[in-house]
Amino acid sequence: MTQDNIKAFSEKREKLNELVLKNAGINTKRLFNVDQQVYRDGALPARTKELLGLVASLVLRCDDCIMYHVIRCHEEGISDNELEETLAVGYTVGGSITVPHLRRVWQAWEELKSNTTTDGD
């Protein structure tokens, strides 16, 4: 996934979320709302919650969910080592079936980091 792909992913995700909400009944709207709130700062900081969301998405093997949390982890300033240790827990718990997702995580992570660096130029 190139930077353009990451941007395209986020834009398509946003657009289709709007489509879901346009069609959503009251319960779907409530669930969407909780899905926003639950990752906010509380007893645990948002950055830890993003790691929780990432490992949950990894062991359940949902690429779109993983990608979203990887982007959020990058925004929260998660370090390479923190990311790696989180993924290692997921890999240990979830097994080698998670490996294809690990590949895509690191591909995206390299691009997210490369983007940040070039932004500084």
- Footprint of a copy of itself (CB under 8 A): 13, 16-17, 19-20, 22-28, 30-35, 37-39, 42-44, 48-49, 51-53, 55-65, 79-82, 84-100, 102-104, 106-107, 109-110
Residue nearer to a copy of itself on the CB measure, 111 or 121: 111
**Least distance from a copy of itself to the Cβ atom of residue 50, Å:** 9
Residue nearer to a copy of itself on the CB measure, 65 or 115: 65
**Least distance from a copy of itself to the Cβ atom of residue 54, Å:** 9
Which residue carries 């240790």 as its tokens? 85
- 57 touches 95 (CB < 8 A): no
Instruction: Please give the C-alpha separations between residue 5 and each of 50, 67, 68, 82, 115, in angstroms, as whole numbers.
Output: 21, 11, 13, 24, 12
- 64 touches 13 (CB < 8 A): yes
Residue nearer to a copy of itself on the CB measure, 37 or 121: 37
CB burial of residue 120 (10 Å; 0-12, 13-18, 19+):
exposed
Residue nearer to a copy of itself on the CB measure, 7 or 103: 103
